[in-house]
Amino acid sequence: MALTVSEVAKLGQLARIALSEDELARLAPQLEVILESMAQVSELDTTDVPPTSHPEPLTNVFRPDELEPSLPREAALGMAPSTEDDRFRVPRILGEEA
């Protein structure tokens, strides 16, 4: 099944990607190769293959959570360029209103 340029244009439109005519002509055969490869994978017999999320077992790499002394508030705020009410003062973002 050959992937047409109009089908690739429709995919680009659905993905909200503007594609030029040159890009459409170049991408159509490349996407066709990808689809053919996926079809080959789909033909494999996977009835004896258990579903997994990772090829290797995962182990927890986090250290135990241990309470340790932290930097004193005065020292942390002393390094800040601007403070207000014992907190870091930062510029407003995302159009927040006062």
Q: What is the pLDDT of residues 17-54, one digit of tens each?
A: 999 999 999 999 999 999 999 999 889 998 898 888 88
In a domain, 30, yes or no: yes
Check pLDDT > 80 for residue 97.
no
Q: In this structure, what CATH number is given to the domain that contains residue 28? A: 1.10.20
The pLDDT of 9-16, averaged and rounded, is 94
Looking at the structure of the chain, the number of domains it has is 1
Q: Is residue 11 part of a domain?
A: yes
- The closest of 43, 19, 14 to 30, measured between CA atoms, is 19
C-beta neighbour count of 8 within 10 angstroms: 21
Q: What is the reported pLDDT for 61?
A: 79
Q: Taking a C-beta distance cutoff of 8 angstroms, is the pair 7, 31 a contact? A: no
Structural domain including 19 reads 5-42
Mean pLDDT of all residues in 6-10: 93
pLDDT tens for 44-83 read 998 898 888 888 888 887 888 899 999 998 999 998 999 9
Helix and strand tally (H, E) in the chain?
3, 2
